[in-house]
């Protein structure tokens, strides 16, 4: 569903009037072949999802894709993303993979210059990976994490079998949405002046542009814009 | 956007609890390479879109797809769909293409046995092609077309540069939605006991299950279910 969300945002951010003026887009979704990224980072799964992601990128390249993005924040953790980039170079694949987290930092730097302390909503895997602090420091942006209990609640609102977005993505449950709203309120108390919807499932639940006066930054929409920029 | 709608409906119709339990789906969208189907049927374009559609199917097969559907009613017109099937056989492609219109007739026959007179909302190309009467007669279903002025209004609500769904798909304009609602009222007066949303753009505007007491039949959702059935 996060892949569809990215594809929809590519269409929305392309201002044209006829079908034929839109960009070619290939969306490859192989959920059974790509192990859960958080499970890998926490050591419960042995095989790095980077290898399966690399096979998907190879298939996209085979069909003519020249630039690609992965609508999954956790997949951008250095332990997954760096081996993936290495494989792409090693196999001399003719496809350029954008880094959604780096693109998000650049976007905030350029479009929200007053935003300096980004509150982060994401999975436990992404929190543990430190991928946001890593890339955001390049753009002089602080990253604020909520207290650990709230992090666990956010993770559950994504993964829970009964009310999580992955199980109930369309429509999202009220319970999942409430968890994210409370987390934004808490991050505001912690001093955040903007919120990163740092799991590609979260924009499905929080569709507003601002909450409690803080801009909600959607890395999926930023990735869509960056893909359009690269294709142009 | 119709492709995304089909993909979303495949996910919605798959009742599972984890990402990894979903089916693999490849969505290939090459809008600049596939000429407008109605333009071809009306003689304003010379090259049959069947050839470009065949190339897209070949790419999908190359990446491992074994069964495919095309979320475009007009592409099912015999003048396009039959040459396409012929190409698939000739090239001995290892991919099976479902016929969305035939699947819709079968679905109504099985799931709505009392529905006997289907009112049709679609593009001028689909109206002119006779594809719905052709396949629906196999299932003993009558097809009711609205008066010609309303057909033109429906076509415009799909194609118009300023308010049509193809130009403004997300969100759909109020004006486009109103055209479809009025057409359903008119088809009811003409004796329809069910409505076919016979252009894959229309379910984006009419999301309810019933209107004026008539069931709204969404061929995109039926195609999603048929693809799942074939993969299972």
In the predicted structure, residue B19 carries a pLDDT above the cut 80: no
d(Cα B71, Cα B208) in Å, to the nearest integer?
Answer: 19
Q: What distance lies between CA B94 and its chain's CA centroid?
A: 23
Q: Quick: pLDDT tens for B1-16.
A: 889 999 999 999 988 7
In the predicted structure, residue A115 carries a pLDDT above the cut 90: yes
**Mean pLDDT lowest for which of A33-47, A147-161, B111-125?**
A33-47
CB–CB contact A20 B31 (8 Å): yes
Looking at this predicted complex, what is its ipTM?
A: 0.86
Report the pLDDT value the prediction gives residue A17, as an integer from 0 to 100: 74
Report the pLDDT value the prediction gives residue B197, as an integer from 0 to 100: 97
CB–CB contact A170 B12 (8 Å): yes
The mean pLDDT of A227-231, rounded to a whole number, is 95
Give the residue from chain B lying closest to A169, CA to CA: B12
Size of interface A-B (CB pairs under 8 A): 104
Q: Quick: pLDDT tens for B180-201.
A: 999 999 999 999 999 999 998 9
A120 forms beta bridges with A196
The pTM of this model reads 0.89
In the predicted structure, residue B135 carries a pLDDT above the cut 90: yes
d(Cα B169, Cα A110) in Å, to the nearest integer?
Answer: 29
Phi-psi sector, A25: left (phi>0), alpha (psi -120 to 50), beta: beta
For B146, what's the count of Cα atoms within 13 Å in the CB-facing half-sphere?
A: 28
pLDDT band at A170 (very low <50, low <70, confident <90, very high): confident
Q: Quick: pLDDT tens for A3-32.
A: 999 999 999 998 877 778 889 999 999 998
Question: What are the Cα distances from residue A66, in Å, to A16, A45, B24, B77?
Answer: 22, 31, 22, 33
In the predicted structure, residue B107 carries a pLDDT above the cut 90: yes
Of A8, A19, A35, the CB nearest to B31: A19
Choosing from A54, A72, A122, A190, which is the catalytic residue? Answer: A72
Helices and strands (DSSP H and E) totals, chain B: 11, 8
pLDDT band at A38 (very low <50, low <70, confident <90, very high): confident
Cα of B24 to nearest chain A Cα, Å? 4
Provide CB contacts within 8 A for A209, sequence distance 6+: A215, A216
The mean pLDDT of A119-133, rounded to a whole number, is 94
* B72 is a catalytic site residue: yes
* B199 is a catalytic site residue: yes
CB–CB contact A63 B59 (8 Å): yes
């Amino acid at each position: 569903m996060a892949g569809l969300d990215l594809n929809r945002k590519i269409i929305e951010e392309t201002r044209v009037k006829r079908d034929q003026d839109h960009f070619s887009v290939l969306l490859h979704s192989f959920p059974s072949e790509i192990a859960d990224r958080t499970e890998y980072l926490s050591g419960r799964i042995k095989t790095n999802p980077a290898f399966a992601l690399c096979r998907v990128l190879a298939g996209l390249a085979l069909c003519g894709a020249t630039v690609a993005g992965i609508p999954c924040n956790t997949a951008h953790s250095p332990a997954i993303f760096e081996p993936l980039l290495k494989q792409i170079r090693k196999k001399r694949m003719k496809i350029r993979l954008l880094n959604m987290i780096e693109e998000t930092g650049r976007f905030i730097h350029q479009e929200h210059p007053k935003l300096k302390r980004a509150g982060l909503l994401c999975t436990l895997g992404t929190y543990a990976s430190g991928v946001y602090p890593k890339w955001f420091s390049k753009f002089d942006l602080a990253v604020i994490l909520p207290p650990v209990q709230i992090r666990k609640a956010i993770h559950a609102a994504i993964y829970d079998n009964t009310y999580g977005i992955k199980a109930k993505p369309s429509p999202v449950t009220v319970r999942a949405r409430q968890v994210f709203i409370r987390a934004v309120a808490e991050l505001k108390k912690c001093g955040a002046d903007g919120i990163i919807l740092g799991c590609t499932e979260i924009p499905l639940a929080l569709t507003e542009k601002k909450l409690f006066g803080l801009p909600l930054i959607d890395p999926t929409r930023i990735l869509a814009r960056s893909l359009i920029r690269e294709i142009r």
